[in-house]
Structure 1
């Protein structure tokens, strides 16, 4: 049995990506839930640079950063491969993973600092839609079921966790963040993605996710106005 431990936080989409990957690989692991406001000495030891989850500990050795962890797992355990074998396809997937990660950073910064009032919220939503439009137009020209075609790949993992947050955020804002009429291919892709049993059964409860998003947003906006 592989000696695998995951330090994570249930609300972290980066943690979900690592868990989905291990589950897709069929690899047993021990999960350690971290308190984001009171991080464990083990987490600080394993990730002294960023002090963030997720951290994968394999045979006592820590690996940090979610997509680095995903690629590490995929390289060690080749079943249900997520990283494209073709060098060009691998490079393309890495490009879009980086694009998605940049979208996440930009959206988080806007949501938790500028979404105070209807006009500001709409600007945030429009910026997110602009980023989604690029992915809709550039990544789904061949009517693919997933980004990897008929099978999941690293971009599905990275983008799926982001969209899961977006859908919750839509409930907070009382707007559809991925409307079928505007993003028909992405809308279908997300339904396909969430229909994968391992993804569906290892995703956070939607109601709990929405409540936590509301809490963090109110906390952030309260701090900025004080």
Structure 2
């Protein structure tokens, strides 16, 4: 089983089974949406693309953020705790965020499949990827979309990537590695912005993103094209 890790600046070089990670908060939101029985997600790079795709799916809901804030005219923001309270059963959601959806779309050209990952579905994602790689021989590419080089407190995706790799290798220290990383995130002040009372950054999001392995499903995406727009269509896959 071959495993490589790349950063978001090299997303176009992703190959094989591509695990795209956005813990805070895009793919935590995605997990809660599927837990609330959303039909599917379409991931895009811009708000303009999201609005354009509504021509293809007029009943779709628009969600995401720019600069962490709700995009004007969109139906929901980038809050997993607020998504958990929404009625999205049977709905298609079109999502645009600054890191996660960018990484997924940018990696989609060379990927056989895209797997959306947060801490909330890390184990299910790793198990699906491991089983598929063993069966097909495909490389597993791990792509954390946040990067601590740009903000030293933003290393949650790298920590999740290390956890995923440990799970892929069935390392018994995987849980200990993750617990250490979460403690480091807390002491580094990663969650401080969620303690200030901002409407788009509710305090409940901290608990929501740290619900480790809450969801027993993978989120599987494939590249799509429509009228010059490249997007990733995502469905839930429950592991047996």
Greater fraction strand: 2
Q: Pick the structure with greater CA Rg.
A: 1
Greater fraction helix: 1
Structure with larger RCO (C-alpha < 8 A, sep 6+) = 2
Same fold per TM (> 0.5)? Answer: no
Q: TM-score, normalised by structure 1?
A: 0.32
Q: TM-score, normalised by structure 2?
A: 0.31
